[in-house]
């Protein structure tokens, strides 16, 4: 898992580095992050807290508390995903400014994938991020269903810790991207 997360981190570092290099060359659209992304950031940060507490509850064999916390983590993860989709929808339909040779031109066109290179970078990064988010939510569903099954063969926390590590990685990845887009636009 650590090797996979390191390679994913390198991929996002490469994409964001490419974003900054291409931005410096001009002909770049600026966009403003919708307020929805602030709400989604709060949701995923809170879900990381509930995941941390859920792992602790599992290790303490406090199963009712574990089930409650895992349910909360899953719900917050889904809320985060829905807010992300809404945020990118709003971003897609946002009017933009185009910077060409140091001049700011107001352009009455929505952000789109086949337009300016800034849009391509944005949606490649967003698509990759959303794919990782989907993987995390699927993993949370497995943990959720295992938490509520009636027959428990073992109380090994290994699988839960792997999912928790990945979920925290998705959280940190979003925080990195959120700050990156705030600073670079």
- Lookup: tokens for 11: 């991929």
**Cα 36 from chain centroid (whole Å):** 13
**What is the count of structural domains for the chain?**
1
14 lies in some domain: no
Q: Range of 97's domain?
A: 26-183
> Tens of pLDDT along 23-69?
777 766 777 788 999 999 999 999 999 999 999 999 998 999 999 99
4 lies in some domain: no
> Tens of pLDDT along 30-39?
777 889 999 9
The CATH number of the domain where 119 resides is what?
A: 1.20.120.80
154 lies in some domain: yes
Closest CA relative to residue 121, chosen from 13, 50, 22: 22
165 lies in some domain: yes
9 lies in some domain: no
pTM of the complete model: 0.82
């Amino acid at each position: 898992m650590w090797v996979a997360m390191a390679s994913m981190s390198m991929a996002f570092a490469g994409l964001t580095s490419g974003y900054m290099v291409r931005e410096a060359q001009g002909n770049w659209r600026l966009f403003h992050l919708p307020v929805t992304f602030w709400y989604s950031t709060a949701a995923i940060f809170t879900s990381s807290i509930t995941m941390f507490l859920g792992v602790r509850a599992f290790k303490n064999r406090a199963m009712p508390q574990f089930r409650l916390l895992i349910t909360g983590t899953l719900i917050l993860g889904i809320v985060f995903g829905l807010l992300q989709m809404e945020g990118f929808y709003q971003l897609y339909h946002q009017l933009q400014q185009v910077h060409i040779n140091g001049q700011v031109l107001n352009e009455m066109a929505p952000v789109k994938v086949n337009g300016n290179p800034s849009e391509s970078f944005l949606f490649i990064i967003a698509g990759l991020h959303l794919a990782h988010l989907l993987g995390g939510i699927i993993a949370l569903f497995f943990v959720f269903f295992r938490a509520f099954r009636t027959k428990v063969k073992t109380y090994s926390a290994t699988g839960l810790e792997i999912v928790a590590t990945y979920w925290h990685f998705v959280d940190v990845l979003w925080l990195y991207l959120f700050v990156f887009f705030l600073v670079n636009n």
